[in-house]
Amino acid sequence: MNLGIIGCGKMGQALLGGILNAGIVGPSEVRVFDPVSAAVEYTVSKWGVMAAGSNAEVVGQSDAVLLCVKPQTFSAMLNELGDVEGRLLISIAAGIRISAMEEWTKGAHRIVRVMPNTPALVRKGASAYALGSSATEGDAALTERLLGSVGYVTRVPEDLIDAVTAVSGSGPAYVFFLVESMVRAGVNLGLEETTALDLAIHTVAGAAELMIQSGESPATLRENVTSPNGTTFAALESFRANGFDRIVNEAL
C-alpha cells in the first residue's frame, strides 16, 4: 500500500511516526506534501519518506491519504487534488463534515472523518472515526490500523463526532487545567511548585494507567481510595457541593 500525507505539522508527524514504527508501511511507500517546504524537508530528513511536489501528486501516487491540514485551508486543499479518483481520504480536520468533503470532491473519493487528540504525539491518543457514504469496511479496518498506531481508536456515527470532540478531542485540555489547579493548591499548602507539579502529573498518569489496567470502573476505583469521613471523602464532598458535575456538563 502507498500512503500519502498532506500536512506535515505536529499531528501529521505523530501519525507518520506511529505508522512507520508499527510497520504498516515502509518509508519508501509514503509520499508527503506541505505548502511549507521546510516542513517537507524536515519530514523527509527525519523519516526517510518521499517528498511530493503538490497535493495532486500525493493523491496520484497513494492508495490512501491522511489529510492533516487546518480547517481554514481545507477546502482550498481539496480543490488541488487533481483528476485522480477512487482514493481513500482520511481527514482529521475539526468541524469539516463528511457531506461537505464529498461535495467538494464531487464524490470522487471515499471519505473517513477522524477526531484525534494531542496525546497521539506520544502514542497515547484517543481517536474516533466515522465513515463516509462510499467508504467500505476495508477502509474502516485500514483507518483503525493507522490510528491504532498512535493510541486507542473507536468508530462512531458522524452525528456523535461533536460529542467525541467534547470528551476526548478537547479532553486533554481539561486534564491539563485540573493539573494546573492541583499545583496551585499544592503551593498554597506549602509545596514547592516543581514538587507539586511532579506529584500532580504522576498522579494523573498513574490514575489513568490504573483505570486502563485494573478493569474496574472509575466509580469503583474512587470508592476504593475514599475512606469514610477521611480527607479524600471531604475533598470529594467539596467538589460535589460546588457543582462539579454541573460544571463539567456545562463545559462539554
**pLDDT tens digit string along 35-62?**
999 999 999 999 999 999 999 999 999 9
Domain final position from 137, 161, 185: 161
Q: What is the pLDDT of residues 102-152, one digit of tens each?
A: 999 999 999 999 999 999 999 999 999 999 999 999 999 999 999 999 999
The CATH number of residue 85's host domain is: 3.40.50.720
- Are residues 86 and 179 both part of a single domain? no
The CATH number of residue 245's host domain is: 1.10.3730.10
- Are residues 116 and 196 both part of a single domain? no
Domain-embedded: residue 166: no
Domain span at 219: 171-251
* pTM, rounded to two decimals: 0.92
Instruction: Return the HEC string of the chain.
Output: CCEEEECCCHHHHHHHHHHHHCCCCCHHHEEEECCCHHHHHHHHHHHCCEECCCHHHHHHCCCEEEECCCHHHHHHHHCCCCCCCCCEEEECCCCCCHHHHHHHCCCCCEEEEEECCHHHHHCCEEEEEEECCCCCHHHHHHHHHHHHCCEEEEECCHHHHHHHHHHHHCHHHHHHHHHHHHHHHHHHCCCCHHHHHHHHHHHHHHHHHHHHHHCCCHHHHHHHCCCCCCHHHHHHHHHHHCCHHHHHHHHC
- Are residues 38 and 106 both part of a single domain? yes
Would you say residue 166 has pLDDT above 90? yes
Domain final position from 112, 133, 161: 161
Mean of pLDDT values over 77-100? 93
- Are residues 44 and 98 both part of a single domain? yes
- Are residues 50 and 145 both part of a single domain? yes
- Are residues 128 and 222 both part of a single domain? no
